[in-house]
Amino acid sequence: MEGYVITIGITILIYMLMAGGLALQYGFTGLSNFGLVGFVAIGAYTSSILAIKGVPIPLSLIAATGLATLCAYPIGIIALRLGGNYLAIVTLGFSEAVRMTLQTEEWLTRGMHGLTKIPRLFSGWVEPSRIDLCILLLLLAINIIAFLAFRKLVKSPFGRAIEAIRDNETAARALGKDTAQFKTRSLMLGAACAGLAGGLQAHYLTFISPEQYVPLVTFYVWIALVLGGADTMKGVIVGTCILVGFLEGSRFIGDFVGGISEVKLASVRIWMIGMALICVVLYRPQGLFGRSIVRN
């Protein structure tokens, strides 16, 4: 039971880091990023490949975060200057392009076979039975640091600028703000969080393959934001806990309700998530802890 609780905690904290980056992009800047999983995949594969080749895990994670950040820059430069909803389309296409590349470039990624024997965090440093607990504590510390940094960032002049851009980009531009530059920086910061989350997840699972990085992962993170509220870090935390807790807890419905196959149970879970989203949108459109409805 203890091991299961630790596993749930690790999953929540990994998704929470992704959701924090997306909240910075969408909740505070108004950027519709539908390709978050692409940056997660870049971080996961970069860190895994480097670590397999003998690079220390801390350096591999730094490289993963850096590459994910750099990949966001050209996307921002191209899409954000077009305006409208082009960013959503471009980022979704980008994530699928990343996944297709991971499948086809077998010389580097081993394609659909995936990467195996990825060095695990804390392996050789602590007893095998305590590795998961150490990973949980590491992720908790990283999330605390990240969310404190986000809190300080959104209260800084940069944070006030991106919130102004979110609420009324035309007015912000009229005041002399380079809105494209601010949005690009916000996109890069969010991508850095996603890349770091991907690297940490890879070193926890020790196996990754392209089929793990489908658009559904992105939309799970979006669901967490919708549930909790995209423009407040409290909403990000609560929304992620609710989502992951429900996804994992609902696996045991079959133990209490007989005659439900695994296939039918998966459909029931999706239906329940959909109904919960409908109720939130109808009665609490800003999310459970959202302060206001985010406008693009």
Q: CA-CA distance, 182 to 228, in Å (whole number)?
A: 25
- 120: which DSSP letter? P
pLDDT of residue 253: 58
DSSP character string of 125-192: TB-GGGHHHHHHHHHHHHHHHHHHHHHHHHTSHHHHHHHHHHH-HHHHHHTT--HHHHHHHHHHHHHH
Q: CA-CA distance, 152 to 7, in Å (whole number)?
A: 30
pLDDT in tens, 264-290: 677 777 777 788 778 887 888 788 777
Q: CA-CA distance, 95 to 75, in Å (whole number)?
A: 11
Instruction: Delimit the domains of the chain by residue range.
Output: 2-213
Q: CA-CA distance, 80 to 283, in Å (whole number)?
A: 32
Task: Give the global pTM.
Answer: 0.90
The arithmetic mean of pLDDT across residues 248-272, rounded, is 66
pLDDT value at 257 more than 80: no
pLDDT of residue 295: 46
